[in-house]
Amino acid sequence: MGFKEAVESEKFLVTAEVGPGKGTEIQGLLEDAELLKDRVDAINVTDLQSSVMRLGSLAVSHILADKGIEPVYQLTCRDRNRLALQSDLLSAWVLGIKNVLALTGDHPVLGDHPEAMPVFDLDSVSLLQTIKTMNSGHDLAGNEFNGAPDFFPGAVVNPGADAGAGLEMQIIKLEKKIEAGARFIQTQGVFDLNSFEKFMKRVEGFKVPVLGGVIMLKSAGMARFMNSKVAGISVPEAQIKAMAETKDKVRTSVEIASGLVRGMKDMCRGVHIMAIGWEKKVPMVLEEAGLK
């Protein structure tokens, strides 16, 4: 069953992600993907995550597809104008890639090449509109394709945005993304289930499946860093304390992550697990959460 069919089947969805590395070595990534293959509905391939130069998501998504692993091709607007975005999308389709997650992308100043010129010709909403136009058989200039793609597009939302205006802007933008064609939504990392439940009640009328984001904590320092540097992330002090005092960080991280997954089962359509280098621990999270 492909990812699109899994979404349409109304099952509880599970996705994970892998991040291409800095260089040509992909054996470890492929081992992680094979380990996850029969445990998740799809695997996201990040696109120069955090604006750090890495191996491209298009090539890795193609390799996964060739191995029978359903990829979600992440595509950011940061590094490409509308010509390159459309060309890469056509390339993705002929390489067997069907699922696309449309992202605006972090600014290059945050990454390892801060002097790089950003593009941002489009943003995530207009990229979704572009995918919809291409699916209809035309490019953005109105030219007809000789063979059209049929992508299954998705988008992201940050449910932990600051209450008030920040949260309202997230909800308004989410509605625009759905109107532009997003068929599934993956969220930024969630650590507070009460806050997430309130967010889900606000968006339940949108009728698009939402996968709650679950980030595996590696240390108390990582949690504090995200609290101070990553917009919309708020790790509760109890979780930070647990990671600081534990003698087994992996075990405690799995317990926190699996608890979040269990808590989300009745709130949303699935979970998106971001292990950030601990992909081999994802099966432990799923087993602990009761998801085989």
How many CA atoms does the CB half-sphere of 24 hold within 13 Å?
0
pLDDT of residue 160: 82
Distances (CA, A) of 261 to 91, 102, 147: 35, 24, 41
pLDDT of residue 126: 98
* Average pLDDT by stretches of 10, the chain with 292 residues: 93 97 97 96 97 97 97 98 98 98 95 96 98 98 98 95 75 97 97 94 94 97 92 92 96 98 97 96 96 82
Please tell me whether residue 273 adopts helix, strand or coil conformation: strand
d(CA 226, CA 231): 8
φ, ψ of residue 72 to 5 degrees: the values are: -110, 110
pLDDT of residue 10: 83
pLDDT of residue 107: 94
Q: At what angle do helices 124-135 and 82-94 cross, to 10 degrees?
A: 50
Q: Where are the domains of the chain?
A: 3-217+268-277
- Assign a CATH topology to domain 3-217+268-277: TIM Barrel (3.20.20)
